[in-house]
Amino acid sequence: MASTCLACSWTTSRSSAAVDARPEPFGYEDGIGRPSNRRQPFDATFGLQATDDVTLHKEVLVGHGKNQTVETVDAPAPSNAGISTFNDDEEDAYCSTDNPLSSTLLAGHGVEITVTDQNTGGTMTIEVSKPD
């Protein structure tokens, strides 16, 4: 497993919260529902490496009466390039109106954290800065 960086931010509500690098939710191909917020942040970390290609499944009943069958519906989340930099310049940079309960409003102090080096299963080097 790759080493990753989960950023936490001092939020506008004056508390610390994890920040999801990719707050937009993914959903099932039938358009009904999406995986829970417990599953959504599998790709939340910041880093240099791409996310894994992930597909979650649900079973649904199709048809009526004796003709009813169970089918599997996918919720695919393709691999995405790594996001190396966290920046809290914009309070809503890591928020999704489609999934507000899994979003974090930031303090907006201009803190920047950049992953500059990372290796599989080991160490990570980060750079932290706050412009004046």
What digits encode the pLDDT tens for the residues 55-79? 999 999 999 999 999 999 999 999 9
Using only C-alpha atoms, the chain has a radius of gyration, in whole angstroms, of 18
Distance CA 119, CA 124 (A): 7
Joined tokens for residue 126:
């980060």
Looking up tokens 């899994």 gives 102
Torsion (CA) 90, 96, 97, 100 in degrees, nearest 10: -100
Partner residues linked to 22 by β-bridges:
none
- pLDDT at position 7: 66
Per-residue pLDDT reduced to its tens digit, 14-67: 567 788 999 999 999 999 999 998 898 889 889 999 999 999 999 999 999 999
Distance CA 61, CA 32 (A): 13
Long-range contacts at 55-58 (CB < 8 A, ≥ 24 apart): 58/28, 58/33
- pLDDT at position 107: 82
> What is the band of 120 on the pLDDT scale with cuts at 50, 70, 90?
confident
- pLDDT at position 57: 96
pTM confidence score: 0.78
